[in-house]
Structure 1
Amino acid sequence: MTLSLKNIIPVIHAKWFGESDAMPIDHISIDSRSLQNGQNTLFFALSGPNNDAHNYIEELIDAGVLNFVVTHVPDEVRGQANFLIVENTLEALQQFAAYYRNLYHFPVIGITGSNGKTIVKEWLNFLLGPDYNIIRSPKSYNSQVGVPLSVISINEKHNLGIFEAGISKVNEMEKLEKIIKPTIGLLTNIGSAHDEGFANIGEKMKQKLKLFSDVEVLILHKSKTVETFLNPKIKTFSWSCKYENADVFIVKKIIVDKTALKVKYNSDDFEIKIPFLDDASVENAIQCMMVLLHFGYDPKVIENRMSLLFPVEMRLKVKNGINNTTLIDDSYSSDFQSLKIALDFLESQKLYKKKTLILSDIFQSGLSNEELYSNVSQLIIANKINRIIGIGETISQFKNKFLNCVTFATTNDFIAAFDTLSFGNETILIKGARHFRFEEIVALLEEKTHETVLEINLNAISHNLNFYKSKLKPETKLMVMVKAFGYGNGGFEIAKLLEHHKTDYLGVAFADEGIALKNAGITLPIMVLNPENTSFSAIIQHGLEPEIYSIKGLNAFLKIAAQKKLEHYPIHIKLDTGMHRLGFEQNNIDELIFTLKENKSVIVQSILSHMATSDELTHKDFALSQIELFEKLSSKLMSELKIKPIRHILNTSGISNFPQAQYDMVRLGIGLYGVSNDPDEQKFLENVGTLKSIISQLRMIPIGDSVGYGRRFIAERPTKIATIPIGYADGISRHWGNGVGFVMINNKKARIVGSICMDMLMVDVTEIKCKEGDSVVIFGESPTVIYIAEQLKTIPYEILTSISQRVKRVFYRE
């Protein structure tokens, strides 16, 4: 996005107060703390009941922000920046978002309902991601502020939008409809969430349906209730497990740990299996299937993709608890509809037969307390809950409606009585409204695991992949490097995700890496970049494709190929255009041509080279000379051998800095893992890996005492020291110790003191409130691997690939 203030002023009906309305705008912000704010940011100073962003304008100007949308100009900043004065900054943000949305013309799916919006959105992104450049609402950005911010993130590379819209009172949806402008509507389950903002369910339904006033088609669960309020002019695409006159009729059947859906659509009958049993997940999955049907996907593709659906950790999280317990953490909401979903989830996830429910007062039900808690009691009995622990004044009043029930008026009362309660060998659902602070109960019950893990965010990998895809021409192929154990992040799991995203090639350094991926079931073509001659037989056996970079290597491979009577086996010819590491040089191209000519054993699948300075624009002339030489040598090979192979020379930095040299394919490496050499590009990438540990022990040391080997740290004050179970054997550089580096504990920096040991390091937590067992972030969002590399005068590659394989990798999707 690049607009000027001059473009924006009439859109938001603003009064201009400044010096230059030609200022380009490429970023919209409402967060004064964002490090992405800069001179080309337009900051909307939103005002709410608890905060007024006008108070931070002076601070933002000091940080370099020059452009503001305000209701008034604070006296202390007059004449210091450009101001667009409006009556209401939120309405101005919405007006701008609506204008911005109308600049783009591609299909947009608008999702609303009471439950399932975020899950359906995330699943659709997963299912459609391989075929579209999707812009979607981040997390649960479905509010009057979240929706505009989501839509403003559209860029020219997107060709499908998925936005969710949530409302809590009347007259909100009209505003969101103007911003989202969905061409395809999707109505999820309508329940009791946010009932208090509407007079009745009818009013709520009418308000929700306003999102679809101008859609080309509305996808929905066939319902007589919905049809009562639906504009008959809206074209619908309906499904049902009850009404056979729906566009799609479905019969559900449970098969062990999956749900089979027998689908009847037009004249077709097919079956898909999804890895869920609870009704809510099944309904959400069906909604996604309906979108795929509307888009014309083949049933076999639908079946394959939907079998890979995964739980979205939005509210419900499964955790290990103390005394052989399993926790279902739903400590963020408490309404009747979500309680039903949570109990379904509890049943499908229970590890122990005994089931305990810790439940707060329930809100947003739309029922009298008498009726509500009678229904809750029936629901709990139906789900065979063994024990109820109620927290709240209202639920305490209806204690007699529950069997085996104990209640507490407040969370503090429960915590005070915790040691008198017995928990063990059971599954515990913790279900409470936010203000009951049930996260404190989770903390009491959760097992404190003493382990170091590297958490890998697969969503971030998908995001980064799509970011770089957006820079490519439609015809340009993509090879992704998964060498060195996926740059330290793990090989197979990432390769599987890349396979789902239809990556054209994978690249590994050595044969054993490729063999491991093939043995694990990866079917993508895999190129081995540094094959040793002794590995050629294994490479052929496992269907890998070798890079050939010397006459000696070529002759060795051709000898084995002849012995095995191979025909047209794919090989990749590496040219040295200036890196001087591996590859055929200009003076032996003729010998290469002579050796390959008329040889039927192999086929040149691709010709490649590697750039030495693609990330350093001070050496741009050298980079261009490499590209020029590559063009010359590869063209000669193609002409003399009469071949049309794939050509590729660009790595991650090359993709961004030399787009004219995309040729037929590019190779994406460190960028996939969230690291760029360009600070401006870095802000568009998501962090992939977070290395975490815990505090093993805390101690106070007096003035004059030392910490660690060699007494390299001497306390100059009474100092609280935390010991962390991670060291140089796990890949943490010893140079990061002795006050150079830090870790994050409870969002505060803890400086590393003394020398880093083989299995441990120590940090100063004198000013940090913490306890043994608390989580410690070694790297992730802060400190980043880029920051650590800069401090250690190395590169992020080394930081990532140094993490020992003894560190457990945990893969997750948000």
Structure 2
Amino acid sequence: MSIGMLSTEQLYHKFQECTGVSTDTRRITPDCLFIALKGGNFDGNQFAEQALASGARYALVDDAAVAERDRASGTDRCLLVADGLTALQDLARHHRQTFTFPVIGLTGSNGKTTTKELIAGVLSKKYNLYATAGNLNNHIGVPLTLLSLNEQHELAIIEMGANHQKEIAFLCSIALPTHGLITNIGKAHLEGFGGIEGVRIGKGELYDYLAQNAKTVFINSRDKTLMAMYRERLKSIRSETTFAEAIFYPAANPDEETTTLISESPVVVYKNASGHEITTHLPGRYNFNNMLAALAIGDYFGVSPEEANRAIADYNPTNNRSQQVIKGTNTVLLDAYNANPSSMAAAIQQFAATPAKRKAVILGDMYELGDESEAEHAALGKLIAESNFDLVILAGKDMRFALEYLPKAYYFPDKFSLHNWVMDNPMADTHILIKGSRGMSLESVVPFI
């Protein structure tokens, strides 16, 4: 007799018997639900038996032969569905709908994760909250994040990433955010989005969802692009449904602003509403904007200004994002988690303004730029040249396009050569910026400095 496929409701009852979910047999916890996913080079169905043997209570599979084999063995713990990924997403949506607490959806071209961490730090002063762990912000990560929510939580922050249009709209249909924030619109994933206008449309899908479902939006009032996108949606809504409310930060009226930037280098120092100076661990005006977002959201949800500012001051990144590392007499600004033309330009301009005896940059390729890659890397070379750094080191196949403006730069097509050069040419008393796309993994250079 063939095994029937479970509905989402039936699957949810099984999920409620479990302690959590896992898609990796190396991370099986007792009585979890193992979800078999398929990729280009793997098929999670083939690891279902291993997951059960390692302690999983059930294994969700979309291979009937695996489920039949499991039933024949007498365990009957493989749950058959038509498609594992779709079942994961449907299960997550169903679970999300059981909660009524606020869910903040967060996206943008740059600063998503740092902003998420700052907001989480502020809101955790008052709430038991759950925020996206690491970078679990895609069509798999968002469902896994939602399935980690439980009745003890009072608020959730869901980071949503995208590299093509319609992806944010789809993630919103799963996460169902009640509040939302776009950090900015920049030159990220140009290849997938089809250019900067495609980025604007794709990221703007969060605004679309919030407006169409009468939810709350937080907007940086100084960002002309975001303000224009907000106004466009007010005009385009044909029914009475629109944003429930719009919260602007800084204040829409400059005379009402209470938080002012004092210094952005080497770290942000700002004056709060009480006139006290707050010294942070993050550099740059771009991070100050992220802090303003966290403060605005904290204020909206009733976190006291004292607690909110303390959370901002205490946040110290350890995730390759604006992370300061001391190596001997050198100070390394490790910002190697990701890079695109917008974030790279902001980091270089900020670093150029940082007071230091000697400054060096180690920069790697910016990925996913498609036909724009040569022009964007060349433009980056021009910006670097105008910054007059003492030492410029470039790595990656597309960084060669930056050399037109940088005749004295050291260039390495691969990281092996880069590592050797840095090891053979030790630096001292130098401030060093390291930045590149995730695929470059330039944090690997730090041990050689």
- Work out whether the TM-score is over 0.5: yes
Q: Measure, in 2, the Cα distance between the counterparts of 1:316 and 1:306.
A: 14
- Which has the larger helix fraction? 2
Q: Measure, in 2, the Cα distance between the counterparts of 1:91 and 1:22.
A: 15
- Give CA deviations for 1:69-92 in whole Å, capped at 9, x if unaligned: 221133553434233332321111
1:431 to 431, 435, 439: 435
Residue identity (%): 24
Letter of the 1:375 partner, please give it. A
Question: Which position in structure 2 is the counterpart of 1:788?
Answer: none
Letter of the 2:287 partner, please give it. S
Question: Which position in structure 2 is the counterpart of 1:192?
Answer: 187
2:205 to 210, 222, 225: 210
Question: Which position in structure 2 is the counterpart of 1:226?
Answer: 226
- Preserved contact between residue 12 and residue 95 of structure 1 (Cα < 8 Å): no
SS at match of 1:203: helix
Letter of the 2:215 partner, please give it. E
1:50 to 37, 41, 44: 41
CA 1:255/1:218 → structure 2, altered by over 3 Å: closer, same or farther? closer
- Offset, 1:285: 0.2
Letter of the 2:226 partner, please give it. V
The reply to whether residue 111 of structure 1 matches residue 106 of structure 2 is yes
Question: Which position in structure 2 is the counterpart of 1:60?
Answer: 51
Q: Measure, in 2, the Cα distance between the counterparts of 1:120 and 1:434.
A: 18
Q: Measure, in 1, the Cα distance between the counterparts of 2:163 and 2:398.
A: 23
Question: Which position in structure 2 is the counterpart of 1:10?
Answer: 7
Q: In angstroms, what is the RMSD of aligned CA positions?
A: 3.5
Question: Which position in structure 2 is the counterpart of 1:395?
Answer: 399
Q: Measure, in 1, the Cα distance between the counterparts of 2:373 and 2:201.
A: 26
CA 1:94/1:247 → structure 2, altered by over 3 Å: closer, same or farther? farther
CA 1:92/1:227 → structure 2, altered by over 3 Å: closer, same or farther? same
Q: Measure, in 1, the Cα distance between the counterparts of 2:326 and 2:19.
A: 45
- Give CA deviations for 1:660-701 in whole Å, capped at 9, x if unaligned: xxxxxxxxxxxxxxxxxxxxxxxxxxxxxxxxxxxxxxxxxx
Q: Measure, in 2, the Cα distance between the counterparts of 1:304 and 1:63.
A: 43
The reply to whether residue 172 of structure 1 matches residue 172 of structure 2 is no
Q: Measure, in 2, the Cα distance between the counterparts of 1:21 and 1:370.
A: 51
- Give CA deviations for 1:89-145 in whole Å, capped at 9, x if unaligned: 111111011100111111111111122222222222221212111121112221111
Q: Measure, in 2, the Cα distance between the counterparts of 1:71 and 1:246.
A: 59
Q: How does 1:399-798 map to 2 (within 5 A)?
A: 399-402=403-406, 404-418=408-422, 421=425, 423-436=427-440, 438-445=442-449
SS at match of 1:375: helix
- Offset, 1:281: 1.4
2:341 to 307, 313, 336: 336
CA 1:343/1:72 → structure 2, altered by over 3 Å: closer, same or farther? same
Q: Measure, in 2, the Cα distance between the counterparts of 1:209 and 1:285.
A: 21
Q: Measure, in 2, the Cα distance between the counterparts of 1:440 and 1:45.
A: 32
- Preserved contact between residue 386 and residue 404 of structure 1 (Cα < 8 Å): no
- Give CA deviations for 1:312-365 in whole Å, capped at 9, x if unaligned: 53434333336x333333344342233234436646877x52111122233345
Q: Measure, in 2, the Cα distance between the counterparts of 1:183 and 1:23.
A: 24
CA 1:83/1:336 → structure 2, altered by over 3 Å: closer, same or farther? same
- Preserved contact between residue 355 and residue 386 of structure 1 (Cα < 8 Å): yes
TM-score by length of 1: 0.47
- Preserved contact between residue 107 and residue 161 of structure 1 (Cα < 8 Å): yes
Letter of the 1:114 partner, please give it. S
Q: Measure, in 1, the Cα distance between the counterparts of 2:129 and 2:270.
A: 28
SS at match of 1:166: coil
- Which has the larger strand fraction? 1
- Preserved contact between residue 165 and residue 193 of structure 2 (Cα < 8 Å): yes
Q: Measure, in 2, the Cα distance between the counterparts of 1:228 and 1:104.
A: 33
Unaligned runs of 5+ in 1: 1-5, 264-268, 446-814
Q: How does 1:269-284 map to 2 (within 5 A)?
A: 273-275=278-280, 276-284=282-290
Q: Measure, in 2, the Cα distance between the counterparts of 1:57 and 1:22.
A: 16
SS at match of 2:278: strand
Q: Measure, in 2, the Cα distance between the counterparts of 1:201 and 1:84.
A: 43
Q: Measure, in 2, the Cα distance between the counterparts of 1:317 and 1:299.
A: 25
- Offset, 1:419: 6.2
CA 1:218/1:401 → structure 2, altered by over 3 Å: closer, same or farther? same
Unaligned runs of 5+ in 2: 235-241
- Preserved contact between residue 6 and residue 81 of structure 2 (Cα < 8 Å): no
Question: Which position in structure 1 is the counterpart of 2:324?
Answer: 318
Q: Measure, in 1, the Cα distance between the counterparts of 2:150 and 2:373.
A: 49
Question: Which position in structure 1 is the counterpart of 2:249?
Answer: 239
- Preserved contact between residue 261 and residue 268 of structure 2 (Cα < 8 Å): no
- Give CA deviations for 1:753-791 in whole Å, capped at 9, x if unaligned: xxxxxxxxxxxxxxxxxxxxxxxxxxxxxxxxxxxxxxx
Letter of the 1:441 partner, please give it. V
The reply to whether residue 157 of structure 1 matches residue 148 of structure 2 is no
CA 1:148/1:420 → structure 2, altered by over 3 Å: closer, same or farther? closer
SS at match of 1:74: helix
- Give CA deviations for 1:628-683 in whole Å, capped at 9, x if unaligned: xxxxxxxxxxxxxxxxxxxxxxxxxxxxxxxxxxxxxxxxxxxxxxxxxxxxxxxx
Question: Which position in structure 1 is the counterpart of 2:237?
Answer: none
Q: Measure, in 1, the Cα distance between the counterparts of 2:350 and 2:81.
A: 48
- Give CA deviations for 1:575-596 in whole Å, capped at 9, x if unaligned: xxxxxxxxxxxxxxxxxxxxxx
- Preserved contact between residue 57 and residue 77 of structure 1 (Cα < 8 Å): no
Q: Measure, in 1, the Cα distance between the counterparts of 2:428 and 2:254.
A: 50
Question: Which position in structure 1 is the counterpart of 2:238?
Answer: none
Letter of the 1:225 partner, please give it. T
Q: Measure, in 2, the Cα distance between the counterparts of 1:154 and 1:393.
A: 42
Q: Measure, in 1, the Cα distance between the counterparts of 2:178 and 2:16.
A: 33
Larger RCO, structures 1/2 (Cα 8 Å, 6+ apart): 2
Q: Measure, in 1, the Cα distance between the counterparts of 2:421 and 2:315.
A: 41
Letter of the 1:405 partner, please give it. A
- Offset, 1:44: 1.4
TM-score by length of 2: 0.82
Question: Which position in structure 1 is the counterpart of 2:23?
Answer: 30
- Give CA deviations for 1:727-767 in whole Å, capped at 9, x if unaligned: xxxxxxxxxxxxxxxxxxxxxxxxxxxxxxxxxxxxxxxxx
Q: Measure, in 2, the Cα distance between the counterparts of 1:296 and 1:226.
A: 25
- Preserved contact between residue 361 and residue 391 of structure 1 (Cα < 8 Å): yes
Letter of the 2:430 partner, please give it. E
SS at match of 2:334: strand
1:181 to 166, 176, 182: 176
- Give CA deviations for 1:262-315 in whole Å, capped at 9, x if unaligned: 76xxxxx97763525511210100001111232244545544554444445343
CA 1:30/1:219 → structure 2, altered by over 3 Å: closer, same or farther? same
Q: Measure, in 1, the Cα distance between the counterparts of 2:272 and 2:115.
A: 20
Letter of the 1:372 partner, please give it. E
- Preserved contact between residue 258 and residue 274 of structure 1 (Cα < 8 Å): yes
The reply to whether residue 135 of structure 1 matches residue 130 of structure 2 is yes
SS at match of 1:273: strand
SS at match of 2:109: coil
Question: Which position in structure 2 is the counterpart of 1:102?
Answer: 97
- Preserved contact between residue 36 and residue 60 of structure 2 (Cα < 8 Å): yes
The reply to whether residue 385 of structure 1 matches residue 389 of structure 2 is yes
CA 1:87/1:279 → structure 2, altered by over 3 Å: closer, same or farther? same
SS at match of 2:115: helix
Letter of the 2:436 partner, please give it. G
The reply to whether residue 253 of structure 1 matches residue 270 of structure 2 is no
CA 1:361/1:123 → structure 2, altered by over 3 Å: closer, same or farther? closer
Count of matched residue positions in the alignment of Structure 1 and Structure 2: 425
